Structure 1
């Protein structure tokens, strides 16, 4: 009869570890292609009509979001799970030692996972500079330039870039 509660406790521990590890995956990043509001360098107002031009430059912009650090929640959750798993091993004082080791190891692992999830993030975007046919320059910040290359002829229609 002692094996049944151990199996239930072990199954609950495995389920808790699987649940916490599912929180590690970042959310997918999706965008619509070429539907961006322009950052206009010259002139100050975007033109209300269709413009044509050539891509003069594509540069990479890197921005960094600072991390928030750890709040202790990961250490507490990891400690609880580690203690429950460690309690499954040994008898008597050996079980107490295994529980203590599981508690400490789980707390360290949980804190490490939380620090990784709350760490600083670096984002890359691109600034596409276009020289218009009338001699002006327009700049657009986009997450991905796609198939656009320097020298390509493009059309700017209502703030959207497309190859021409």
Structure 2
């Protein structure tokens, strides 16, 4: 009977662990509504040469929460974790101890793989902010931003080419 060198299962285990670790990274938050300006109700004022600069005050800052529902577990994490745990458990001991370590590795790996998959596929909650500005000429603008920064209600601001800055 031909023996497999000890390095082969170790390399296979390392590759399996690396592939599971890649599954843990959360999806990046992306917004397509920046800056938010309802065009029909509040048209952007422009001059002939370029974009009109407006001044105003921050009227309100709202927190917008969006949730992505989870997809649950499909069993792939448990299977991958069980395989990795079994391979790693097989590296420990000899005889009946090796068999017991392999069985414990399969069970522990399956539980861990299922837990990682459930965490990765669980619901996610994202927060963004809607900054409402009352302009000096009586207009009203609302912008969705990932963070309001140092803006507070009542701050004097300048809106230049859709960018809000304290004034």
Residues 18-37 of structure 1 deviation map (CA, whole Å, 9 limit, x = unaligned): 44224423366699xxx932
Residues 99-150 of structure 1 deviation map (CA, whole Å, 9 limit, x = unaligned): 1221111111111101111111111111101011122221111001112222
How far apart, CA to CA, are the structure 1 residues paired with 2:39 and 2:126?
22
Q: Note the 1:33-48 alignment, pairs <5 A.
A: 36-40=34-38, 43-48=41-46
- 1:43 deviates by 3.2
How does the TM-score come out when normalised to structure 2? 0.79
Q: Which blocks of at least 5 consecutive residues in structure 1 are unaligned?
A: none
> How many matched pairs?
160
How does the TM-score come out when normalised to structure 1? 0.81
- Structure-2 residue corresponding to 1:53: 56
Q: Note the 1:12-161 alignment, pairs <5 A.
A: 12-26=12-26, 36-40=34-38, 43-48=41-46, 49-161=52-164
Deviates more, 1:112-121 or 1:40-49: 40-49
Contact 1:13–1:81 (CA<8 Å) still a contact in 2? Answer: yes
Q: Which blocks of at least 5 consecutive residues in structure 2 are unaligned?
A: 47-51
Tell me the C-alpha RMSD between the 2 structures.
2.9
Contact 2:78–2:112 (CA<8 Å) still a contact in 1? Answer: yes
How far apart, CA to CA, are the structure 2 residues paired with 1:111 and 1:129?
44
